[in-house]
Every structure is written in structure tokens, then in C-alpha cells.
Amino acid sequence: MSNQAARSARPAPFARATQVIASTAALVGHVLGNVERLVIDVTRDSTQVATSATALYADAAIRATQVIGTMRTAPRVARLVTEVLRLVALYKLRGPSEALHRSGAQRMHDLCVELRGGVLKLGQLASCRVDLLPPAYVEALARLQDRVPPLPAAVMRARIQAELGRPVDELFARFDDEAIAAASIAQVHGAQLHDGTEVVVKVQLPGVEDDLAADLAAMRFLVTALGDALPRTDLPTILDELSRSVRGELDFLAEADATEAVRADFAHDPDVVVPRVYRELSSRRVLVLERLHGRPLAAFLAGTDQADADPDADADAAADASADAASDHTARDRVLELLVTTYAAQILAHGRFQADAHPGNFLVLPGPRLGLLDFGALAEVTPTARAAYAQLVLAILQRDTARMAELFGYIGFATLDGDAGALERFAELMMAAFRDGADLATIDPRAQLEAALRLAHENPVVRLPQEFVLIGRVFASLGGLLVKYQPRVSLFAAIAPHVARAAAL
């Protein structure tokens, strides 16, 4: 069959999909400033950019059917791919600068708000990486945690009635049309039951299933197409785990099961609060939970960060302000310690953990106590894996390199050249803050992370255990908070009891 005949035999959706990708390529071509000219003029400095762009576009056409699952979502996919490729092109041509960081960060924020779905979820996760991303990106994407524009209340009311079969005014004594929060796949409203109980109603956004499928397909394409610009690591495993996790968040009945399981795990811990589920008012797309009254974690931490005394105040006022600031900082340190302790308990003691650890999923309650929210992404760790991870932590803290190498292989890690030494050095850097007697006030976690990442790039980790992807996702988020606030606590004391118990399993 000739090439012309093969093209004619392709189904119409493929042809249209190819056209979408070709249009995307053309848009990026305009940003590059005439790709055709760059390809022809191979003697100029821009040759490398043009060649990579041409190869990128050719690969895009070949993979078009992988990118676009249904034609309904084609414009959405084209929008996502276009924006990412445009930004990559700008960084290649101009190089990083503060102005480009600011404009790129705002474009990414606006794209996440516009598309929601998996794109917004990734933006929320990225905002937690204060240790790695330029400040402009952290600041812009942090607004996705709890300030996403909500959909109209009428849309949410119709969704609830379609799911539960009764009008909202019959189901609840009061339903607040103003949303408490709006996020990637759902919107949350306050309500009151007929017995006076205050609850929150989590409602899945209409059409989010189709949008999420399109987003994940586009991300898979982008990871493949831009792989040469990314660190050589096990990106397919990371993307597979993200896909599985985010898809699981669409089933609110599964989330209800997860919430009840974690609530039972912490039933006897006075410092951790998990809301009650109201099963009779819940479905696969609507979830009704007890309402916890507290401050969002991000707002609480930001408030304590600004609690220093005013140097222009009079002596008595300055003394009072200083005492208040000290109290606030103590509470902040306690909350951050609780975060670490709670996750050590989830992973090593209970064998299941909340895998989406962005600040919007935590409340600070009086005490202070920690309120855990949103268990749409719950990961499980088998007793065997828990014991292996705990033994690995002990080996790292004891600098037992032979045992470290053995456990890395047993758990499932692998490097590009098979050298376990790179994993050992990586682990040493990452665990420095957890050593007995370590003082976060004297440790520079950012420098530790940067050194660890340089090692990972020089001899990259090419295979990761699946559960470690989610554990890494959690501690990347927590690590970002520790980098920023540097609590005056012993992280070793926080995790040691859980490590010791799990190692003995």
C-alpha cells in the first residue's frame, strides 16, 4: 500500500487528531520564529533547536491516536500540549530569567484553572515543591490549593439531585450556595442536616471523567516527546502511579471506605482528627462528611511566619508581641512535627496513607490538633514492604552501606549502571535531617536536596518500586514545608518509634 493510500485508509478521527497536533506544532513554530527557515539553515546556532522541534512534531503526529482518546476532548488536549511546548520553546530560546519565570508561572496557573481535571491536580502537586521550583511558580501555583474559581451553585445542585434522586432542599435543612473550596475534580459546599449537624458536601464536577482521560493521555505524550529534556528516571512508573491514583479519586464510595479506615486507625489518637462519613447521603459522585472547624494549613503556617514583633512598637507592646510570636512559632513547630509523625504512623504502622499531601488537605484545629481531609488517593503498603522500608531507614541512619545496598535491591530500586553506591549517597543526603540530634535550624535542606538531585541525575534511578512513587510524592510535599519553615523539632524522635516497630514485622 502506498503512503498516499495508507493516509486515505486512516480513520477520520486519526486524521483530525493529526491535524490537531499539526496545528499545535505550527503554533509552537511561530514561537520559535519560523521553524522551516531554521531547519533549512543548518549552519546557524539555532540548528539544534530546529532539529529537536522537527523531531518533536514528527513524533507527535505518529502518536496522535495515543494523545486524543475522543474527539470531544481534542481542543482540550491541543490547548494543553500547545501551552507546554510553547513554554519549553521559550526557555530553550531565551534561557531562564525572572521575567520568564513570572510570565510562565502565570500562564500555567491560568491553564490549570481553565482546564481543571488532571492538569489542576498536577499544578497543586507542583506547588508543594518549594525546594525545587522557582519562587514565581510556587507562588502562582499555590493559589490553586484553595482559590480555584468555583462552578455555579445551580450546576452543583443539579449534580446532587441527579446522583441522590431528591432535590437539595429536601436532603439538607440548609445548603450553602457559596462554595467552601473548588479543586481539580470536585467542589465542596457547606450544609446542615435536618438534625442540626454541620456537614460538607463534596460534589464531583460534571464531565471530569472525560477531561481526566484526555489530560492523562496528553501528559503521557508530553513525557515521551520531551523525555530528552527531563532527568533520566522511571517516568513511566511515576505517570502510571499518578494515573491510577487520580482515577481512583473519581470513586467517592471508595473514598468513603478509605476515610472510615483511616478514621479507625486514629480513633485513639487525640492529636489527629478524621471526619465522619454520612453514607446515606453519599454516592459515587457525592460525598457528605462531618465538618471540621479549623484553619487551613497554608493559612496557619503563613500566619505564624508573620508573627514577629513590630520593632517600632513600645517596649511593653513589643514584649507582648514577642511572646505571642514565640507561642505561634511553638504551635507551628508542633503542627509540622505532627505532620511527620502522622505520616510515619500511616506508612509504617497502619500500612495505608493519604497519598495527596498538599496543604489544602489539612486543617489545624485547636490544641493544636491536625485534621486530615480528602482520602480519594489512599495508598497501601504491605507488612513486608513496611518492614523493608523501616530496615532501610535504620541502615541509612546507622551508615550500614552493605545492608543499604541489599535492601535497595530487595525493595526494587535500580540505577542506570547498576551502582548501588549512588543510591547510598542519595539516601544519606535525604536522611540527614532525620539523624538523632539533627537540628533543622543548622541543616540546609534545600542544599541537601539539590545535592541529592545532582547525584540522581549523574547516575539516575531507572526503576522505582510503585509504592515508593507515592511515598516520594508525600515526602516531597512535606519536605517543601520543612525547607521553608525549618521547625525546631527532632524528626528522629518523631519517626523512631514507628520505624522500630515496623522493622520488627
In which element (H, E) is residue 182 found? strand 174-182
- pLDDT tens, 328-376? 789 999 999 999 999 999 999 999 999 888 888 999 999 999 999 999 8
Residue 472: band (very low, low, confident or very high) from pLDDT cuts 50, 70, 90: confident
CA distance 206 to 433: 44
Chain mean pLDDT for the chain: 75
**DSSP string of 349-401?**
IISEEES---GGGEEEETTTEEEE---SSEEE--HHHHHHHHHHHHHHHTT-H
Active site residue 356: yes
The whole-number pLDDT of residue 498 equals 93
The whole-number pLDDT of residue 132 equals 54
Residue 500: band (very low, low, confident or very high) from pLDDT cuts 50, 70, 90: very high
CA distance 73 to 82: 14
% of the chain exceeding 90 in pLDDT = 31
> What is the mean predicted confidence (pLDDT) over 80-95?
81
Helix (H, G, I), strand (E, B) or coil at 86: helix
User: Is the CB of residue 365 less than 8 Å from the CB of residue 297?
Assistant: no
* Whether the predicted model's global pTM rises above the 0.75 cut: no
- pLDDT tens, 376-432? 888 899 999 999 999 988 988 888 878 888 888 888 887 777 777 777 776 776 676
Of the residues 265, 356, 400, 419, which is catalytic?
356
Q: Which tops the pLDDT comparison, 49 or 243?
A: 243
CA distances from 328 to 14, 323, 332 (A): 59, 9, 6
Residue 256 identity (one-letter amino acid): A
The whole-number pLDDT of residue 241 equals 62
> What is the mean predicted confidence (pLDDT) over 151-157?
95
Q: Which tops the pLDDT comparison, 58 or 112?
A: 112
Please give the domain boundaries of the chain with CATH numbers for all domains. 3-142 (no CATH), 153-206+251-290 (3.30.200.20), 294-505 (no CATH)
> What is the mean predicted confidence (pLDDT) over 89-94?
80
Lowest mean pLDDT: which of 228-232, 300-304, 491-495?
A: 228-232
Q: Which tops the pLDDT comparison, 232 or 471?
A: 471
Q: Which tops the pLDDT comparison, 133 or 110?
A: 110
Indicate the DSSP class of residue 434: G
- 95: phi > 0 → left, psi -120 to 50 → alpha, else beta; which? left
CA distances from 291 to 9, 98, 149, 241 (A): 57, 41, 21, 30
Lowest mean pLDDT: which of 45-54, 250-259, 476-485?
A: 45-54
For residue 235, is pLDDT > 80?
Answer: no
Q: Which tops the pLDDT comparison, 3 or 132?
A: 132
The whole-number pLDDT of residue 444 equals 63
User: Is the CB of residue 373 less than 8 Å from the CB of residue 275?
Assistant: yes
% of the chain exceeding 70 in pLDDT = 67
Q: Which tops the pLDDT comparison, 138 or 264?
A: 264
For residue 76, is pLDDT > 50?
Answer: yes
For residue 46, is pLDDT > 70?
Answer: no
Lowest mean pLDDT: which of 210-219, 382-391, 460-469?
A: 460-469
CA distance 339 to 376: 18
The whole-number pLDDT of residue 173 equals 98
Lowest mean pLDDT: which of 94-108, 129-143, 230-244, 433-447?
A: 230-244
The whole-number pLDDT of residue 122 equals 73
The whole-number pLDDT of residue 17 equals 38
